[in-house]
Chain A
Amino acid sequence: MDNDDQGILWEVFIQVKAGRPYKHIGSLHAYDKVMAMQSARDLYTRRNEGNGIWIVKADDIVSSESSDGEAFFDPSNDKVYRHPTFYKIPDGVKHI
Chain B
Amino acid sequence: MEDEKKLEEFQQKIDANIKIEPKDWMPEKYRQTLIRQISQHAHSEIIGMQPEGNWLTRAPSLRSKKILMAKIQDEAGHGLYLYCAAETLGVKREQFLEWLHEGKAKYSSVFNYPTLTWADMGAVGWLVDGAAIVNQVSLQGTSYGPYARAMVKICMEESFHQRQGFEIMVELAKGTKEQKQMAQDALNRWWWPSIMMFGPHDSESAHSNQSLKWKIKRASNDELRQSYIDKTIEQGHHLGLTFPDPNLKFNETTKHYDYSPIDWDEFWNVVKGNGAGNKLRLKHHIKAHEDGKWVREAAKSYAQKQNLIQKSA
Task: Give the B-binding residues of A (Cβ under 8 A).
Answer: 1, 3-7, 9, 25-29, 31-32, 35, 42-43, 46-47, 63, 65-67
A32 touches B306 (CB 8 A): yes
Residues in B with CB closer than 8 Å to A7 are 296, 299-300, 303
Subset of 14 A-B contacts with CB under 8 Å: A1-B98, A4-B94, A4-B296, A6-B93, A6-B296, A26-B81, A29-B93, A32-B299, A35-B303, A43-B81, A46-B74, A46-B77, A46-B157, A66-B24
> How would you classify the secondary structure of chain A's contact residues: helix, strand, loop or mixed?
loop
A63 and B300 in contact, given A4-B293, A5-B94 (Cβ under 8 angstroms): no
Question: B63 near A: Cβ within 8 Å?
Answer: no
Task: Give the A-binding residues of B (Cβ under 8 A).
Answer: 21, 23-25, 73-74, 77, 80-81, 84, 87, 93-95, 97-98, 149-150, 153, 157, 293, 296-297, 299-300, 302-303, 306
> How would you classify the secondary structure of chain B's contact residues: helix, strand, loop or mixed?
helix
A4 touches B297 (CB 8 A): yes
Residues in A with CB closer than 8 Å to B296 are 4-7, 31
Residues in A with CB closer than 8 Å to B300 are 5, 7, 31
Shortest CB distance A40–B (Å): 11
Which are the 8 A-B pairs with shortest beta-carbon distances? A32-B303, A31-B303, A31-B299, A27-B84, A6-B93, A66-B23, A66-B24, A31-B300
Contact of A32 among B93, B94, B302 (CB under 8 A): B302
**Alpha-carbon distance A67/B94, docked complex (angstroms):** 29
Shortest CB distance B186–A (Å): 28
**Alpha-carbon distance A65/B157, docked complex (angstroms):** 33
* Beta-carbon nearest neighbor of B149 in chain A: A26
Shortest CB distance A46–B (Å): 7
Most buried by B among A4, A5, A63: A4
Residues in B with CB closer than 8 Å to A32 are 299, 302-303, 306
Residues in A with CB closer than 8 Å to B73 are 42, 46
* Beta-carbon nearest neighbor of B93 in chain A: A6
Shortest CB distance B174–A (Å): 30
A67 and B23 in contact, given A7-B296, A26-B149, A31-B302 (Cβ under 8 angstroms): yes
Shortest CB distance B155–A (Å): 13
Residues in A with CB closer than 8 Å to B25 are 67
Residues in B with CB closer than 8 Å to A35 are 299, 303
**Alpha-carbon distance A22/B84, docked complex (angstroms):** 20
Residues in A with CB closer than 8 Å to B94 are 1, 4-6
Shortest CB distance B313–A (Å): 15
**Alpha-carbon distance A63/B134, docked complex (angstroms):** 35
B150 touches A9 (CB 8 A): no
Given A6-B94, A32-B302, 10 other A-B residues pairs in contact with their CB atoms under 8 A: A4-B293, A5-B93, A5-B94, A5-B296, A31-B303, A32-B299, A32-B306, A43-B81, A46-B74, A65-B23
Residues in A with CB closer than 8 Å to B77 are 42-43, 46
A26 touches B299 (CB 8 A): no
Contact of B80 among A25, A31, A43, A63 (CB under 8 A): A43
Shortest CB distance B78–A (Å): 10
Residues in B with CB closer than 8 Å to A27 are 84, 87
Shortest CB distance B94–A (Å): 5
**Alpha-carbon distance A90/B297, docked complex (angstroms):** 71
Residues in B with CB closer than 8 Å to A5 are 93-94, 296, 300
**Alpha-carbon distance A47/B74, docked complex (angstroms):** 11
**Alpha-carbon distance A27/B149, docked complex (angstroms):** 12
Residues in B with CB closer than 8 Å to A66 are 21, 23-24
**Alpha-carbon distance A6/B42, docked complex (angstroms):** 15
Shortest CB distance A69–B (Å): 9
